[in-house]
Amino acid sequence: MRRNDSKAALSQQRAEVRRGAYGKQHVGDDAGSSAAREAMRDRVHRMREVAEATERAERLSQEPIVRLVGHLASDSVRLAMAWLRLPLRVLEAVARRGQRAPA
């Protein structure tokens, strides 16, 4: 290779970059790099899911069980009261509709 041959130097640099690309075994190997990228995406996705599950479990383990049971009880009472008031609210709405003044 001549020292002044810029095209040869550029092609040599491109070949070195391609050889060093993640997941490639040979210079012209495209399928290997796309498969490696897909594998890397899957691995990152699994790592993210594991990290989120670990964080969620850690948050739940830091909150006292008494507080969780208290929230459950208060929410249950609110739900029961809403269901008990429902028929009365329906009756009120029907009564108000009948009391409307004619236009």
Query: What is the C-alpha separation between 97 and 27, in angstroms, rounded?
Result: 80
* Amino acid symbol at 96: R
DSSP 42-87: HHHHHHHHHHHHHHHHHHHHHS-HHHHHHHHHHHHHHHHHHHHHHH
The DSSP call for residue 63 is: S
3-state class (DSSP) for residue 21: coil
Q: Residue 39's pLDDT is what?
A: 85
- Give dist(CA 43, CA 48) in Å, integer: 9
Tokens 């491109």 belong to: 14
Under 8 Å between Cβ of 8 and 2: yes
Q: What is the pLDDT of residue 45?
A: 94
- Structure confidence by residue, pLDDT tens digits, 21-31: 665 555 555 55
Residues of the chain whose pLDDT is less than 70?
1-4, 18-33, 100-103
Distances in Å between the Cα of 77 and the Cα atoms of 1, 66, 70 are: 85, 17, 11
